[in-house]
Amino acid sequence: MGRWRCRSQAQGRPGGRLAPEFFRCRLRGQGRRRQLGSRSSLPPAWARRRATLGHRLAHRPQALHHLEHARTSAHDLPRQAGRCLWGACGFPRVNSGKSSTYRTNVERRIIGAKVATGDAPNKRVLCAPAAPAATALQAVQRLRVDAESAGQRLDNYLLRILKGVPKTHVYRVIRSGEVRLNKGRAQADTRIAEGDEVRLPPLRLPDRSGTPRAPAREFPILFEDEQLLAIDKPAGVAVHGGSGVSSGVIEQLRQARPAARFLELVHRLDKETSGVLLLAKKRSALTALQDQFRSHEGGKTITKSYLALVWGAWPKNLKVIDQALHKTLDAAGERHVRVVAADHADGRRSITLVRSVRLLGAYSLLEISLKTGRTHQIRVHLASAGHAIVGDPKYGDFARNRDLARTPLRFARMFLHARELAFDHPTSGLRITLQAALPAECETLLSALSAP
């Protein structure tokens, strides 16, 4: 019966089973139980057992002291119709819900039960353990859509406004009609316009008072105006928090720029990748640039160039990798990407252009351009060709990466750098080309490999 056990009504107050119950309770976290009364004596049965168990408790004075403080006397246990309302070891009993003629009571120990206070001090009430004060109830809100949010989908607008509310809950209140757009129901994909009124129902938002704030940090700036911000992201810093990462570039920049009304990522780079990262300072700029990224596969609006150092000599005739990729998530939320057949139901066509820049003994320096922008595309495509990126912790050659990190060079990062990004400015239409210099540790490694 697991943690449930039966006992006859005729057994009365607890006694003989107290000592075994005491040791089992200690193993289940005795410190979490609340005090059920003032200090009192132990039940008589405990005194009889103490002689035989004294040697086992000789080194447990703290546990015995806690037990004496946390239990009421067996003589003070309330009774009703000849039945004991308290289980063994002083824990409240939960009845099985059967009628009074049912001759067996099912009891279970409740960790965290407490005594109700009020007009009936002798009445014992079973209460669930107190939940952490992690939520705060908001009242109905009416929001007016500004020019920066115009043209956005309703669900994306709410996800941005309601930071911390679970995504599933946001979609539930939209589907149920609790969210109103101009006093009417709306779908999640409805586009909102400037001046629209969005009514939000009362929502429980997480209390983040105990959550550590992201550290304020600025990054090397490659370009900035009223619309855009481009930085040189270092390796080892995630672009945003999540999957075990407390904060990333976007959170740290927002802390460093508290006066910024809007700051969002236009695209993403892997945590281990360094180089050009573009952010939007206005909603209109974000929408325009995301449209350019979406049309990237069919035209030349956006061009991205990377430098990568791989293991082995890259084949001169291998210039295009056209392989479908399939992304999965494990239980911890980690992303894993693999090459699949072109006709795979969940595969997405991915195209990578490769040019060999230099052969450095057992290494090859490559220039890479993307026709598509899939998760981990460069890393998976190069690894599938038998030439994994140096230092790649997920798809690379782990043994050789470890050996390289132990050399005097101490190179322990992934050699993948977003060197160049070109796009059309969202307002002026001018062609903007941004470049980030190769980090010092990568230059040092190339110099060492080029030395005779």
If we measure between CA atoms, which residue out of 408, 438, 399, 123 comes closest to residue 276? 438
More confident residue, 124 or 209: 209
Are 394 and 380 contacting, i.e. CB atoms less than 8 angstroms apart? no
**pLDDT level of residue 166 (50, 70, 90 thresholds):** confident
Enumerate domains of the chain plus CATH numbers.
5-107 (no CATH), 135-206 (3.10.290.10), 228-450 (3.30.2350.10)
More confident residue, 108 or 55: 55
Q: What is the pLDDT of residue 252?
A: 93
If we measure between CA atoms, which residue out of 40, 48, 41 comes closest to residue 16? 48
φ, ψ of residue 176 to 5 degrees: the values are: -80, -10
Q: Is the pLDDT of residue 89 over 80?
A: no
Q: Is the pLDDT of residue 433 over 90?
A: yes
**pLDDT level of residue 233 (50, 70, 90 thresholds):** very high
User: Region 288-312: what's the mean pLDDT?
Assistant: 83
More confident residue, 435 or 58: 435
Catalytic residue among 270, 346, 392, 403: 270
Lowest mean pLDDT among 188-202, 244-258, 390-404, 420-434: 244-258
Q: Is the pLDDT of residue 354 over 90?
A: yes
Q: What is the pLDDT of residue 20?
A: 52
User: Region 355-362: what's the mean pLDDT?
Assistant: 94
More confident residue, 350 or 4: 350
Q: What is the pLDDT of residue 123?
A: 43
pLDDT in tens, 143-158: 999 887 888 889 888 8
Q: What is the pLDDT of residue 67?
A: 43
Q: What is the pLDDT of residue 326?
A: 94
Is 270 catalytic? The answer is: yes
Q: Is the pLDDT of residue 104 over 50?
A: no
**pLDDT level of residue 120 (50, 70, 90 thresholds):** very low
Q: What is the pLDDT of residue 84?
A: 45
pLDDT in tens, 261-282: 889 999 999 999 999 999 999 9
Mean pLDDT of the residues in the chain: 76
**How many angstroms separate the CA atoms of 30 and 21, rounded?**
11
User: Region 13-40: what's the mean pLDDT?
Assistant: 48
